[in-house]
Amino acid sequence: MKKSLAELTIGEIVADDYRTAAVFDKHKIDFCCGGNIAIAVACKTNGIDLDLITRELALVKTAPIDRSQNYGAWELPFLADYIINTHHSYLKENTEQIAAYAHKIASVHGTHHPEVVKISALFDKIATEMAAHLREEEEVFFPAIKRVYAAKKSGSAPDSKDIEILKNSLKQLGHEHEAIGDATHAIRHLAQEYAIPDDVCNTFVVTYQKLKEFEDDLHKHVHLENNILFLKAGQLKSVRLNISCST
């Protein structure tokens, strides 16, 4: 039996149509790390009218869908490569610079704005954990996904070691997402939603802009993994792929 909208999780809704993420962002409903919560529960917890959300979700779906954002329809190897080329690349290009900015404003403005000292420490923690997280995905988890996917697509039995990698990595990476997500939310809280104080320099402004950009990218990155890639990788452990070859 098909679920009603109220029974669907936030993650399921966004995985089906990424345009709906804008609605959840607007109402500050977490669709990545907190995406496994039913929309009715999320609305009740946040004091938001479910009927209002339902209307807004329907409205964003009236425009033609961009096939380039139909992530749920992508094959797993392609999705894994997209995550590496888009989100991993972003992190590798920007994390060190953001950390440097955070250190600078902590040293210059920390006396009058002690929150930035805490923000700098939290971001250092995120940067360290994220580096190890990306290595695990690129060197261990994603290659195992591709091997298991290729084996099942060809009708062969996947290597038992790869199945064990999927099992262990899914658990580990999921916990790491939660920890990184919690740290990012703590930064946003300390930064008061990235509001810019009146007595700060341009570097302070740029740092908060970059932190907001980092969080926005992380939301989409974690959504693609938690709500799409991880779920499909979990199914690879036991479900035979049903793929028709094009001619």
Task: Dig out the tokens for 179 from the structure.
Answer: 């920890």
Q: Do 102 and 16 reside in the same domain of the chain? A: no
Is it the case that residue 242 has pLDDT exceeding 70?
no
- CA neighbor of 121 nearest in space, from 183, 56, 33: 183
Label residue 1 by pLDDT band (50, 70, 90). low
Give the model's pLDDT for residue 175.
Answer: 93
Q: Do 45 and 88 reside in the same domain of the chain? A: no
Q: Do 79 and 167 reside in the same domain of the chain? A: yes
Give the model's pLDDT for residue 198.
Answer: 92
CA–CA separation, 207 vs 52, rounded Å?
35
In a domain, 242, yes or no: no
- What length does the chain have? 247
CA–CA separation, 43 vs 27, rounded Å?
9
Is it the case that residue 161 has pLDDT exceeding 60?
yes
In a domain, 76, yes or no: yes
- State phi, psi for 112 to the nearest 5 degrees: -90, -20
Q: Do 65 and 179 reside in the same domain of the chain? A: no
Which residue shows structure tokens 């926005």? 216
Residue 156: CB atoms within 10 A of its CB come to 10
Average pLDDT, the chain: 89
Q: Answer with the residue of higher pLDDT: 79 or 33.
A: 79
Q: Do 129 and 56 reside in the same domain of the chain? A: no
CA–CA separation, 200 vs 205, rounded Å?
8
Q: pLDDT per residue over 178-198, tens digit each?
A: 999 999 999 999 999 999 999
Q: Do 143 and 115 reside in the same domain of the chain? A: yes
In a domain, 247, yes or no: no
CA–CA separation, 130 vs 183, rounded Å?
11
In a domain, 243, yes or no: no
Contacts of the segment 205-211: beta carbons below 8 A, 24+ positions apart: 206/101, 207/98, 207/101, 207/102, 207/104, 207/105, 210/94, 210/97, 210/98, 210/101, 211/98, 211/102, 211/119, 211/123, 211/187
Q: Do 56 and 129 reside in the same domain of the chain? A: no
CATH code assigned at 38: 1.10.3910
Average the pLDDT over each of 41-50, 162-171, 187-196 and give the range with the smallest value: 41-50
Give the model's pLDDT for residue 166.
Answer: 94
How many domains does the chain contain in total? 2
Q: Do 149 and 58 reside in the same domain of the chain? A: no
Give the model's pLDDT for residue 35.
Answer: 74
Label residue 67 by pLDDT band (50, 70, 90). low
Q: What are 38's strand-pairing partners?
A: 9
Of 51, 69, 87, at which residue does a domain stop?
Answer: 69
Q: Answer with the residue of higher pLDDT: 138 or 8.
A: 138
Domain extent, residue 19, equals 5-69
